[in-house]
Structure 1
């Protein structure tokens, strides 16, 4: 049912270093010329867990650069195009950690909380331009990034995570897509 509803739509994907605002702007501009952007999904993100007292400020900056500013760069490049067309949908992928943050994620959690705050503000600001803003809070999902995250995860975190499931990426993506297609904001 879900695949039938998107079967006849043109979908484009792009890969770009979202920490580089100029590259994001160029890539979005080219993409929009080739196929006007009606939906933007921002999903760049990575966690480098560790104890607050052991992580340097550069680690916090790295999280913000990728997880928050990467999202911001893509939206800043795309939102004006959507405003000009008076329609669009911005879908931001945050993290379940914004619902309950815990030890080992002092650098990661704030970067994803910032994404949530941005979504809340943009939902209000862009609504009058016909732009919908949604945000998803996926749980731990099996991926190369999650495998990398597990390499530096503190022992207490491993114990906490052992109590919960890690999900396959396809069902998580389908749940997000179903929520978007149902018109949900969260």
Structure 2
């Protein structure tokens, strides 16, 4: 028998992530044919672009499964599940909206602040999941580790490209300017 609840819980965060990545489509390219992100200075430890899709699929699937366990352990949408599932939904919204802020609007610094809010929300969600049943908290640990890495990457990109975030001086044109 197929458990459609588990499948839905796993697919839901992935679908939100897929929709979020649509903001990266149609990025304005410079005369060399490169998109805005490709022109940014990045640290040497930046992962290759192909890694992000599989990584996020695994992370979204793990957190989706954990949300199903919380839902199931609490007997559905009950008083016991309100806090952990609300925190889960909130951190997912922050997760999905980071991509448009960073890639769509080209706001590296705002993306970093957004990421810090996401980090806090994800930790709160993980603690609340753990309090329902420890296994759900463990499913969230890889996500927290990836977020710590992504926050460090966002910070490093922000530092390496600071002129983008500063006011223009004497008509300077910086990456991301139109």
Q: TM-score, normalised by structure 2?
A: 0.31
Identify the structure with bigger relative contact order (alpha carbons < 8 Å, sequence gap 6+): 2
Which of the pair is proportionally richer in helix? 2
Q: TM-score, normalised by structure 1?
A: 0.30
Which of the pair is proportionally richer in strand? 1
